[in-house]
Structure 1
Amino acid sequence: MTATRIRQLLEQMTLEEKVAILSGEDFWSVPSIERLGIGKLRVSDGPNGARGGGSLVGGVKSASFPVGIAIGSTWNVELAREIGTALADEVKSKGAHMLLAPTVNIHRSVTNGRNFECYSEDPLLSAELAVAYIGGLQDQGIGATIKHFVGNESEIERTTISSEIDERSLREIYLIPFEWAVKKAGTWGIMSSYNRLNGTFTSEHNWLLGTVLRDEWGYDGIVMSDWFGSHSTSETVNAGLDLEMPGPPRDRGQKLVDAVNAGSVTVETLDDRVLAMMRLMERVGSLDDHRPHQERADDRPEHRALIRRAGAEAAVLLKNDGVLPLAGEGKIAVIGPNAKTAQIMGGGSAQLNAHYRVSPWQGLVSALGEGRLNYAKGCTNDRFQPVLRGEFAVDYFDNLTLSGEPVYRGSIEDAQTFWIGQVAEGKVDALNFSARVRGTFTPEASGVHKVGIYSAGFAKVFVDGKLIADAWSNWTKGRTFFEEGCDEVVGEIMLEAGRAHEVMIEFCTKDFSTLGLAAFACGIGLPLGDEAIADAVAAARGAETALVFIGRNGEWDTEGSDLPGIVLPGRQNELVEAIAAVNPCTVVVLQSGGPVEMPWAGKVAAVVSAWYPGQEAGNAIADVLTGAAEPGGRLPQTFPVRWADNPAHSQDREVYPGLEGKVRYEEGIFVGYRHYDKVGMAPLYPFGFGLGYTSFTLSDLKADDSRFEADGTVTVTLTVANTGKRAGSTVVQLYVSDTEASAQRPEKELKAFSKLKLDAGESRSVELSLDARSFAFFDSEKKCWVVEAGDFVLHAGQSSADLPLSATVRRESSMTLPV
């Protein structure tokens, strides 16, 4: 009945109406067709929440969930499904029908600015979690939009660069999460990536969108462009890009009408795209949704509890010399730049206006009482000067010269803004205006302050009438605002404590490269000196335990900018060394979107990686430190000793970060632990590693290979026992080695896993299933998957470097599998 109705609607649509629903109306919606009763389709950014419409800064408040790498760290498929289900509620609270999530690009390097948003370096772990997350969303009628399809593993020149990836590496590593999302989860949406793939933009890639996605995988959902990621009219439509976002259209609209009339897009092809869009609208309910659009800030207790539990389960205990969980009644020094700042998420399109933010300090105060705690910041870890907080008045001008009378007066909360869509209630052109922003800054201490400004547009900062920072006169493209902004320009001025200094920012738009937006951020900071570290050392010396909260933040781990390396920013390494020298019970709590170098790892008593765990960050961290919760995480990404050990690190710039418009995936299939195994290099902490507050043993591995010759399947069973004194969790990991392959293969590959929780003394049998693809490699010449004859070794354990159990299965014949 539904298919018949959609076909009938299609037959009633004019050419212009068909074209209309193949591109956005505005930043977050597809237009309705009122004449036919077709409702408006709305989307919301994710994946760690549902921000709703409007800007990336401010807006209606939303729940902030753990970021992707934190979910990856849980290795908990059912938890991923729970989060997807909860996010469906969040999307509904914003009046939307689709979430732009999950993000499943692979952790090829350790410096990708967007690694925090993705699950893992391993395709199987990424795929399992994505399938569950999508199921949680779509079982509640909210469409998933898995992204970014494909080869978007860095943020450098991301809107133009060509990812040069051979077909075998694509099939075995980078396409797997998308393939599972289509075949196993039935995802309703896929977002194409910004980059080119082997020379062709993915948004108009016939092989990717046609041959692979639709012909081989049987996909019947939609493909939408990343925002401003469409680059043509006929080419994208003919290749299989259903939806150009955002609106108003740049490549479609009248251009597409003309293309159909000229015959460069056939009516049959156009109708295929329209049918896909209406099929989606029916699935998510927007086809008949005519309710007034409303966004609500639903702060749900059950979501608070889920976020807190997931945050603790994501925390990875990397080292523990018996100092955790915290015990006794002694004094605790709480030190570091992340101690009183809640680092809850990364930066870019995933950021949102959280209901609240719990810092580690606040979480510890709630758990232990403030009387036991003593705080010292020690140093900073900011990439930019701290954003000026408070309300700022804004005058808008419908010209680029700040001349004449303002056409609109408004205000912004904090001296940062991200203008997209409608600006100044439509009184100015969003890409052709100027603005004057006024407010005050009252320093807490006197001294020479740094004043910073970075902008997508031209900007100047005046303090007390004096020009201090000029990002206007010599504006140069940098690594901010998705590569549309300049790097921060910093000036200095002496400011007096307690005095309200006048701050004025002048701004005007400029021509953009790819993304049509206008934005700026302005901050003022007082640098910390040696005395700050000395104060932290004094606090640590007088405490029983020193908790040092270090890492990065969403300024570093962000869309639109890769990291310069994995050394901790600022003087954080120096701070840890100084604290460890005076307190043998030093616990480092790391928050970052990926690995960091740890030259002090052997000098501290414990290390916890807490990632960016969402709005309950401080409570989740306190739960782990105090033992109220188990640190349930296992590394989804290998931590190398140094950045140079990473497989993407190379003297050849074309391998990374890219050269002359190309980034060559030279390492092929040897990503992450596959690389370290290949070269025989021990990492700092291996893939899949994580400690707990109890201990487990694995035994009795058995492999049932009775069907292996017939259909390639094997069933593995083993026993897991909690041999410790408290309940806890572990992840049983099963890897496969092909000992007689004709093609070069990794030493081992993760092919199955199971997370389980056991009480003290409890034992349980675990069953893991392997299908034929678990033993196959992709043959690029034959264009199929091949399972060769010979021995395969199955390795079971609790990390990629701890695999005490093994069994061998053998095939006498080869078999091929379709794509």
Structure 2
Amino acid sequence: MIENILNHMTLEEQVSLLSGADFWTTVPVERLGVPKIKVTDGPSGARGAGSLVAGVKATCFPVAIALGATWNPDLVKRMGVALAGQAKSKGASVLLAPTVNIHRSGLNGRNFECYSEDPLLTAELAVAYIKGVQSGGVAATIKHFAGNESEIERQTMSSDIDERSLREIYLLPFEQAVKKAGVMAVMSSYNRLNGTYTSEHEWLLSQVLRKEWGFDGIVMSDWFGSHSTAATLNAGLDLEMPGPTRDRGEKLVQAVRDGEVKAETVREAARRILTLLERVGAFEATPDLTEISLDLPEDRALIRQIGADGAVLLRNDGILPLAKTTLDSIAVLGPNAAEARVMGGGSAQIAAHYTISPLQGIRAALSNANSVHHAAGCSNNRLVNVFAGDMHVDYFKGRELKGGPVHSEPAERGEFFWFDLPSAELDPADFSARIIASFVPADSGEHVFGMTNAGLAKLYVDGKLVVNGYDGWAPGDNYFGTANSEQRQAVELEARRSYTITIEYCSPADTSDGIHLTAIRFGVEKPLGDAAIEEAVAKAAACDVALLFVGREGQWDTEGLDLPDMRLPGRQEELIEKVAAVNARTVVVLQTGSPVEMPWLDKVQAVLQIWYPGQELGNAVADVLFGDGEPGGRLPQTFPKSLSDNSAITDNPLVYPGQDGHVRYDEGVFVGYRHHDTSDIAPLFPFGFGLGYTQFAWGEAKASSTVMGEDGITVTLDVTNTGKRKGSEVVQLYVRALDATVSRPEKELRAFAKIELEAGKTVTATLRVTPRDLSFFDVEAKAFRSDPGQYELVIAANASDVRSRIAIENPSLWLGRVDDPSI
């Protein structure tokens, strides 16, 4: 069928398939019965075509680092199956996920969107995710290919990575997604790789991806990530997104006529697009692009289960789990206590069906909700709290708010991200809007108004200009670098008086190059001061236990910018210290998308890392705190004692954050625990670490052979739950090369098994290693190379807790060619 369609297509029709029709759909060819299909973000839910912050409600699943912490491919696969159903509920045939870039610096704004610092753990979870999604007839899109480990100047930065490090660390998850999961789509990254944009990187897209790995799906650009016409297509980029086209269309037709692109190259790219349509069933039934809200009880239960399974108990001096019946009073404190921080920021955001805060979850879990006492203590938001309340929005043609509005609508939240404008009469490059809201402060005193805008805007309070986002506008650190840095202004307000807030907005004038978006966010808040901390401390002193919910939120952990450091923002560390000083029974619950330094660690009784676990946040954390669920997580990323202990943090800015358009991965393969082990730098918490509520006894590890053969070696180990309650354990197998001929890490993760056991039960963990697991990448041989000699199989509970070692021998040289689909 596809061949017949291609034979009847004109060059122009073939070219039309190679760029999007709009932000989310492909171009149909109605004459030949070729339908259009819809794609949708993202990793933690299927948003559909709506705004990042509005639109049809969607199910909000845990973020990727929380999935990484589960070490549970079976559970991740179940989430993939659920996401396929969610994508279909939004009329989408392609899900733009998973994200498998590696945790390199600990400061990456999208660290939360990625699984792990380890390529094997990342690969195993990504394969499971993809298999789950694609089992539901929805294409998964693995991203961002490749070298996108930072958000700093990401649209132009060159990630300079040697080939060995690429092959061993950064490309492995992509390779396994192709070879083991049959992923249907790959998304190129914004950045350059060794000087060349990945969207036009022939070695990466054609040589490695297609010829060596055998990938037969489509390669699409990240949104606005295509920079050329002939170069991208010749390199292997099939689909330019979004549409309408900027680099293809008539430009590509002319490039074919001028001999810059072969007609056969266009045909092959068009064939791959048509094959994708066939694989997702678009020819069998024309896709219904209608979006509905699908809130399923089984999805709710799965999110709650993943939340507990990915929760990592980092410290516990016997206080957890809390006994509900013995607590007369609980202080639930901190900036993340009453706020449901369920997701990170950027394109991963969705409009969740609902969100449950920790405070709500704890109150629901207790028979006496009156025993719970709350105080925020301090704030941790990067931007001024977004306005919430009744608003009215008028939209105008042109950028000058002239004439009558062509569309009017109510709104409830002071954030607008216009992928699609509410009227076909409005041009994204030439429209304006007036937003009118009223604000009644609860207390008198100084309030701060803040606004950030992609486009130009002014904010007035009772007709007086307060925030000027118009004059002197310059791009800053919001909305992927398309908006200015937040502009703030303090104003004295009176309690219970109504103030009129008016925002006048106009779209960006220049949309000729780069990422261009139309968005605005405004808010108002009364800053918390010493009195707020004093209130929290007083409530902590008066209660049996103090639960401190601290961390970050989606304006810190977000696409578009990296973190400034590895500390808790605002006055949170001060809050922890002061609460712990008055209540010895203090538990810290962390919500971050990456590691944090903990100078306060020894002053609290327990620390629980809960990440951003989706819409069931409050219920999941209550399950773990009160023992209705097990904290089943293990760290997918090393937590260093200080930022300077990270391998990417050196005195050379070229290594991180980058310099003169280049960031050089000088640490090579020594990322995360590989660096800590080999350099003998003790971490705060090692890779793979996590406590539970029960105890396990490990038997003697046994190997099927002590000589590596073509079929590999199987290692078995009996694990017994010697405690009084159900729990889970992760058996980790690392390989150590004793006779290494090149610089190699002390040990490298090569297999793992997550097991769940009732009290008193025993199970046998089975792990397998192959010749490739002993290897490093030999650049000259273009192969993975296992030298003859002595190796150790290191059986461990985490990277710092080795339980046993098995000496093995590799009797002869083994070379695994890069184009061998079996390795």
Give TM class, smaller chain.
over 0.9
Q: What is aligned with 1:579? A: 579
Whole-Å separation in 1 of the counterparts to 2:82 and 2:462 = 48
Deviation at 1:642, TM superposition (A): 1.3
- Structure 1 residue matching 2:251: 3-state secondary structure: helix
Q: Report if the CA contact (8 A) 1:334-1:361 is conserved.
A: yes
* 1:479 maps to 2:477: yes
* 1:604 maps to 2:604: yes
Whole-Å separation in 2 of the counterparts to 1:63 and 1:693 = 30
Could you tell me which of 24, 30, 37 is aligned with 1:34?
Answer: 30
Deviation at 1:409, TM superposition (A): 2.8
- Structure 2 residue matching 1:482: 3-state secondary structure: helix
| Cα distance change on mapping 1:698 and 1:815 into 2, 3 Å | same
Q: Which amino acid aligns with 2:718?
A: T
Q: What is aligned with 1:190? A: 186
* 1:545 maps to 2:545: yes
Could you tell me which of 443, 446, 450 is aligned with 2:441?
Answer: 443
- Structure 1 residue matching 2:755: 3-state secondary structure: strand
- Structure 2 residue matching 1:395: 3-state secondary structure: strand
* 1:592 maps to 2:592: yes
Post-superposition CA distance 1:634-678 (Å, at most 9, x none): 000111111111111122111111111111111111111111112
Q: What is aligned with 2:54? A: 58
Which of 549-558 and 775-784 deviates more? 775-784
Give the alignment of 1:804-819 within 5 angstroms: 804-819=803-818
Which of 308-317 and 403-412 deviates more? 403-412
Give the alignment of 1:148-547 within 5 angstroms: 148-327=144-323, 328-368=326-366, 369-420=368-419, 422-510=420-508, 511=510, 514-547=514-547
Q: What is aligned with 1:650? A: 650
- Structure 1 residue matching 2:686: 3-state secondary structure: coil
Post-superposition CA distance 1:130-163 (Å, at most 9, x none): 0000000111111000000000000011111110
Q: Which amino acid aligns with 2:809?
A: R
Q: Which amino acid aligns with 1:556?
A: W
Q: Which amino acid aligns with 1:230?
A: S
Q: Report if the CA contact (8 A) 1:99-1:144 is conserved.
A: yes
- Structure 2 residue matching 1:667: 3-state secondary structure: coil
Q: What is aligned with 1:20? A: 16
Q: Which amino acid aligns with 1:302?
A: E
Q: Report if the CA contact (8 A) 2:706-2:807 is conserved.
A: no
Q: Report if the CA contact (8 A) 2:109-2:151 is conserved.
A: yes
Which of 502-511 and 234-243 deviates more? 502-511
Give the alignment of 1:96-135 within 5 angstroms: 96-135=92-131
- Structure 1 residue matching 2:548: 3-state secondary structure: strand
Q: Report if the CA contact (8 A) 1:457-1:509 is conserved.
A: yes
Deviation at 1:594, TM superposition (A): 0.9
Q: What is aligned with 1:721? A: 720
Deviation at 1:406, TM superposition (A): 3.2
Deviation at 1:56, TM superposition (A): 1.2
Q: Report if the CA contact (8 A) 1:41-1:287 is conserved.
A: no
Deviation at 1:705, TM superposition (A): 2.6
Whole-Å separation in 1 of the counterparts to 2:706 and 2:680 = 34
Whole-Å separation in 2 of the counterparts to 1:655 and 1:466 = 47
Q: Report if the CA contact (8 A) 2:706-2:808 is conserved.
A: no
Q: Which amino acid aligns with 2:350?
A: L
- Structure 1 residue matching 2:452: 3-state secondary structure: strand
Q: Which amino acid aligns with 1:683?
A: P
Whole-Å separation in 1 of the counterparts to 2:26 and 2:327 = 59
Q: Which consecutive residues of structure 1, in runs of 5 or more, have no partner in the other structure?
A: none
Deviation at 1:292, TM superposition (A): 4.2
- Structure 2 residue matching 1:110: 3-state secondary structure: coil
Whole-Å separation in 1 of the counterparts to 2:274 and 2:298 = 34
Whole-Å separation in 1 of the counterparts to 2:401 and 2:152 = 33
Q: What is aligned with 2:821? A: none
Q: Report if the CA contact (8 A) 1:58-1:413 is conserved.
A: no
Q: What is aligned with 2:638? A: 638
Q: What is aligned with 2:729? A: 730
Deviation at 1:15, TM superposition (A): 1.2
Q: Percent identity?
A: 55
- Structure 1 residue matching 2:430: 3-state secondary structure: coil
Could you tell me which of 80, 84, 87 is aligned with 2:80?
Answer: 84
- Number of corresponding residues: 813
- Structure 2 residue matching 1:219: 3-state secondary structure: coil
Deviation at 1:392, TM superposition (A): 2.1
Deviation at 1:811, TM superposition (A): 1.9
Which of 6-15 and 428-437 deviates more? 428-437
Q: Which amino acid aligns with 2:64?
A: G
Post-superposition CA distance 1:404-457 (Å, at most 9, x none): 44343334331111122x424122220222222111111121111001011111
Whole-Å separation in 2 of the counterparts to 1:627 and 1:812 = 50
Post-superposition CA distance 1:501-529 (Å, at most 9, x none): 10011222223551121111101010111
Deviation at 1:706, TM superposition (A): 6.1
Q: Which amino acid aligns with 1:497?
A: A
- Structure 2 residue matching 1:803: 3-state secondary structure: strand
- Structure 1 residue matching 2:701: 3-state secondary structure: strand
Post-superposition CA distance 1:30-66 (Å, at most 9, x none): 0211111111111110110000112212000000000
Deviation at 1:707, TM superposition (A): 6.0
Q: What is aligned with 1:8? A: 4
Q: Report if the CA contact (8 A) 2:707-2:811 is conserved.
A: no
Q: Which amino acid aligns with 2:763?
A: R
Q: Which amino acid aligns with 1:716?
A: V
Which of 290-299 and 537-546 deviates more? 290-299
Whole-Å separation in 2 of the counterparts to 1:292 and 1:613 = 31
Q: Report if the CA contact (8 A) 2:707-2:809 is conserved.
A: no
Post-superposition CA distance 1:334-360 (Å, at most 9, x none): 101000011100001110000000000
Give the alignment's TM-score, normalised by structure 2.
0.98
Which of 345-354 and 498-507 deviates more? 498-507
Q: Which amino acid aligns with 2:558?
A: T
Segments of 4+ moved more than 4 angstroms: none
- Structure 2 residue matching 1:281: 3-state secondary structure: helix
Whole-Å separation in 2 of the counterparts to 1:676 and 1:293 = 49
Deviation at 1:390, TM superposition (A): 2.1
Whole-Å separation in 1 of the counterparts to 2:407 and 2:48 = 25
- Structure 2 residue matching 1:394: 3-state secondary structure: strand
Post-superposition CA distance 1:510-554 (Å, at most 9, x none): 235511211111010101111111111110111111000000000
Post-superposition CA distance 1:738-782 (Å, at most 9, x none): 011111000000000000001112111111011111100001122
Q: What is aligned with 2:701? A: 701
Give the alignment's TM-score, normalised by structure 1.
0.98
- Structure 2 residue matching 1:272: 3-state secondary structure: helix
Which of 436-445 and 204-213 deviates more? 436-445
Q: Report if the CA contact (8 A) 1:39-1:288 is conserved.
A: no
Post-superposition CA distance 1:310-364 (Å, at most 9, x none): 1111100000001000011321111010000111000011100000000001100
Whole-Å separation in 2 of the counterparts to 1:636 and 1:678 = 18
- Structure 2 residue matching 1:324: 3-state secondary structure: coil
- Structure 2 residue matching 1:259: 3-state secondary structure: helix
Q: What is aligned with 1:561? A: 561
Q: Report if the CA contact (8 A) 1:44-1:51 is conserved.
A: yes
Whole-Å separation in 2 of the counterparts to 1:677 and 1:314 = 24
- Structure 2 residue matching 1:556: 3-state secondary structure: coil
- Structure 2 residue matching 1:207: 3-state secondary structure: helix
Q: Which consecutive residues of structure 2, in runs of 5 or more, have no partner in the other structure?
A: 819-823
Q: Which amino acid aligns with 1:63?
A: T
